[in-house]
Amino acid sequence: MKYLGAKHLIGNHIATYINNIVTPDMVDGYFEPFCGSLGVFKQMIKYNYKKYIATDLQPDIILMWKKLQNNQLILPKTFDEEMYNQLKNSNTPSEMRAVAGFGMSFGGKFFSGYIQKYAKNSNRDFYKEFKNSLNKIEKIIQKPNINFYNKSYDSCEPVNMLIYCDPPYKNTVGYETGDFDNDKFWGVMREWSKNNYVFISEEKAPNDFKVVWEKTKMRTLNSSIRYNKIEKIYVYKHGLAQGF
């Protein structure tokens, strides 16, 4: 599930960094409130924190992860454009809408276009690739201390947790779950940082946050445009993580 903003290519780098800073014995668990395609979350599981909590406001993606975790995700043998469009036009959240909307869409952006159209003469089978990706993740997320919830980040009240946030970036294309209030987000991060170790991926942040890590990564905008961006991780200057 590789899409604009996804962390699959650098997820291991991010996980290694924050684990080196905040080890399992320092906190009560790991929390990721914008879990999406689990680019970082799946990498953090190998470090054996006491508990893992993944949340996302997008209902379809959480339904898919729950089904996969419980060995209940039943996928069709093939996935054609007709099935894609049927799910696109459905208003009922389901795990299959996540498969279509993220796994079978160009760039992994929710229903941005049936990705198999872009295979051209490459003979790539994007559905097979997606299923292989799910098979790998399934083995990772089946630990009993891993929980998925469909809820908004601002309804959570974490305490003594290691938190990694990958929110919708400011001034980027809109998200399926609606407009994102960036000012409110940074306010919540300030509050969380008082009682948690909070690390935030963004391109820019308010002046009372500082960059503690950065790495250049490639982004795909459409079928013909790819470009380099500098991925940054910020912490609140007056929070628990500010000393690192």
Q: Is residue 167 part of a domain?
A: yes
How many CA atoms lie within 13 Å of 118's alpha carbon, on the beta-carbon side? 14
Given this model, what pLDDT does residue 101 score? 96
CATH code (residue 30): 3.40.50.150
Given this model, what pLDDT does residue 243 score? 77
Q: Is residue 140 part of a domain?
A: yes
Residue numbers of the domain that contains 206: 11-243
Task: Pull the structure tokens for residue 90.
Answer: 């459905």
Q: Is residue 2 part of a domain?
A: no
- State pLDDT tens for residues 46-55: 999 999 999 9
Listed as ranges, residues in the chain with pLDDT below 70 are 1-6, 171-178, 217-227
Given this model, what pLDDT does residue 4 score? 41
Given this model, what pLDDT does residue 5 score? 45
- Assess contact for 119 and 113: CB atoms under 8 A: no
Q: Is residue 53 part of a domain?
A: yes
> Cα dihedral sign for 144, 128, 72, 175?
positive
Q: Is residue 198 part of a domain?
A: yes
Q: Is residue 215 part of a domain?
A: yes
Given this model, what pLDDT does residue 242 score? 84
Q: Is residue 4 part of a domain?
A: no
Given this model, what pLDDT does residue 225 score? 52
Q: Is residue 143 part of a domain?
A: yes
Given this model, what pLDDT does residue 3 score? 45
pTM above 0.85, yes or no: yes
Tally of structural domains, the chain: 1
Nearest one of 15, 13, 10, 22 to 43, comparing CA atoms? 15
Given this model, what pLDDT does residue 99 score? 97
Q: Using the 8-state DSSP alphabet, how is residue 13 labeled?
A: H
